[in-house]
């Protein structure tokens, strides 16, 4: 298990050269690490907290066998309006059910570590693709010019700066494909996070859980009722409840007061096992099961839903930002000015009049990896070279 933590720690190591931005880091480092870390934590909790413990109506069958059966086959709760908080059922979803009742099956827990690992791998995929396409290009350009290269003498640095200026001037107009590859990977970040939300919804009702959490937390308060208008009507047939307060008539279903954590990640569930008795008749064994690991699942998936929503929003804004930088030379100029405060604005304007979007992008990448003094020298020399060429 220590080996897994060592692998996880490698995601937090500082990269020598920056080839992407903070939104990329949000995907491949923060989110992937969160998901890979959960792949380690959940099995540990299952091991030390006992994944499932059940009590049964029959003592004729080994409890370990029944526990394993219920863990593999899954447990269930009953989504019945008159169940929790209205009749005598002690726990939500634990009651006698009719064939017409809606059953909520809980069968996916055993697969959560694998599912979360797949989520994490997909969040790392755009970074892996971009790193392969980039192929160490920026690292090669800034070699021997970075701030930590103190062992390189000034003469060698001057030669390296001169070589970098000549290279940028000679390759003007050839970086559009490089920039397009980066934009593609940024677009893949957005596609991926939306795809993971969709896949999670299909497998374990992830988005439904998150939406119900938001509805539950923002539901109308029933504490502000007073006077003659404080009337409640409840109809089990229509499964609707009407609350009359002094402001309005509020429609509520009977499920609105049940916390979504109890619906999607219950700690108490039901399991049924059938077998044939000594005389050949079918015997039904009912079990009441406790799932301690769901205490962690409730908090983790609540956080994960809001986190995915946050990452989706930030990534969508980043795609809009990238589109603006592609179509607007003024924005590109403003971004370079923000990183090159020591450089004369006229030099930057002279350069960008000749630069395409891809050329701007490679220069912007260099400003992330070189100190301000070296950037100033490179940009001024490049501006002079462009001016002489004109």
The encoded tokens of residue 81 equal: 């309006």
Rg of the chain taking only CA atoms, in angstroms: 30
Residue 93: per-residue pLDDT? 77
Neighbouring residues of 233: CB distance < 8 A, sequence distance ≥ 6: 241, 242, 244
Residue 248: per-residue pLDDT? 45
- Distances, alpha carbon 283 to alpha carbons 153, 275, 276, 287, in Å: 86, 5, 6, 13
| Whole-angstrom distance, CA of residue 56 vs CA of residue 44 | 26
| Whole-angstrom distance, CA of residue 26 vs CA of residue 318 | 12
Contact of 326 with 187, CB cutoff 8 Å: no
Residue 39: per-residue pLDDT? 93
Structure pTM?
0.83
**Mean pLDDT by groups of 10 residues along the chain of 390 residues:** 52 71 96 96 87 83 87 85 54 73 82 95 98 95 73 77 94 95 98 97 92 84 44 42 43 64 90 80 85 92 97 98 96 95 92 95 95 93 88
Other Cβ atoms within 10 Å of 116 Cβ, number: 22
Quick one: which of 36, 46, 43 has its CA closest to 10? 36
Q: List, as one string, the DSSP characters of 80-106.
A: -TTSBTTSSBSSTT-S---TTSEEEEE
List own/partner pairs for 316-321 with CB under 8 A and 24 or more apart.
Answer: 316/190, 318/21, 318/23, 318/186, 318/189, 318/190, 319/186, 319/187, 319/190
Residue 51: per-residue pLDDT? 85
The encoded tokens of residue 212 equal: 């119900």
Residue 3: per-residue pLDDT? 55
Residue 239: per-residue pLDDT? 45
Task: Identify the helix (H) or strand (E) that includes residue 367.
Answer: helix 357-369
Quote the DSSP letter at residue 26: I
C-alpha dihedral sign at 40, 41, 47, 48: positive
Quote the DSSP letter at residue 387: H
Q: Decide if domain 2-136+174-219+256-328 falls under CATH 1.10.150.
A: no
Residue 201: per-residue pLDDT? 95
| Whole-angstrom distance, CA of residue 25 vs CA of residue 34 | 12
**Number of alpha carbons in the 13 Å side-chain half-sphere of residue 4:** 12
């Amino acid at each position: 298990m220590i080996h897994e933590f060592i692998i996880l720690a490698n995601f937090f190591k500082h990269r020598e050269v920056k080839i992407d931005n903070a939104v990329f880091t949000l995907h491949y480092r923060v989110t992937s690490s969160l998901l890979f870390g959960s792949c380690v934590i959940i099995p540990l909790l299952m091991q030390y907290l006992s994944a499932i413990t059940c009590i049964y109506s029959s003592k004729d069958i080994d409890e370990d066998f029944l526990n394993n059966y219920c863990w593999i086959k899954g447990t269930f709760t009953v989504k019945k309006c008159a169940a929790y908080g209205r009749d005598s059922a002690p726990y939500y979803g634990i009651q006698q059910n009719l064939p017409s009742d809606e059953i909520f099956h809980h069968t996916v827990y055993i697969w959560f570590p694998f599912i979360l690992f797949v989520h994490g791998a997909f969040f790392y995929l755009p970074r892996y693709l971009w790193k392969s396409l980039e192929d160490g290009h920026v690292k090669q350009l800034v070699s021997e010019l970075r701030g930590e290269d103190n062992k390189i003498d000034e003469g060698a640095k001057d030669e390296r700066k001169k070589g970098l200026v000549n290279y940028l001037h000679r390759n003007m107009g050839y970086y559009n494909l490089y920039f397009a590859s980066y934009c593609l990977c940024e677009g893949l970040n957005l596609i991926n996070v939306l795809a993971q939300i969709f896949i999670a919804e299909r497998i374990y009702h992830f988005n439904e859980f998150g939406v119900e959490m938001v509805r539950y937390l923002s539901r109308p308060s029933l504490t502000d009722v007073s006077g003659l208008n404080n009337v409640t009507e409840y109809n089990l047939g229509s499964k609707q409840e009407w609350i009359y307060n002094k402001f309005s008539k509020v429609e509520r279903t009977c499920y609105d007061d049940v916390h979504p954590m109890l619906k999607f990640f219950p700690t108490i569930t039901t399991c049924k096992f059938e077998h044939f008795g000594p005389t050949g008749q079918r015997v039904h064994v009912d079990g009441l099961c406790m799932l301690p690991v769901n205490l962690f699942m409730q908090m983790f998936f609540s956080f994960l839903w809001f986190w995915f929503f946050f990452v989706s929003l930030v990534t969508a804004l980043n795609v809009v930002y990238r589109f603006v930088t592609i179509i607007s030379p003024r924005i590109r100029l403003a971004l370079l000015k923000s990183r090159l405060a020591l450089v004369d604005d006229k030099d930057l304007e002279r350069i960008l009049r000749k630069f395409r979007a891809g050329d701007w992008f490679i220069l912007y990448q260099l400003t992330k990896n070189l100190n301000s003094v070296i950037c100033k020298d490179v940009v001024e020399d490049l501006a002079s070279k462009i001016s002489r060429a004109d």
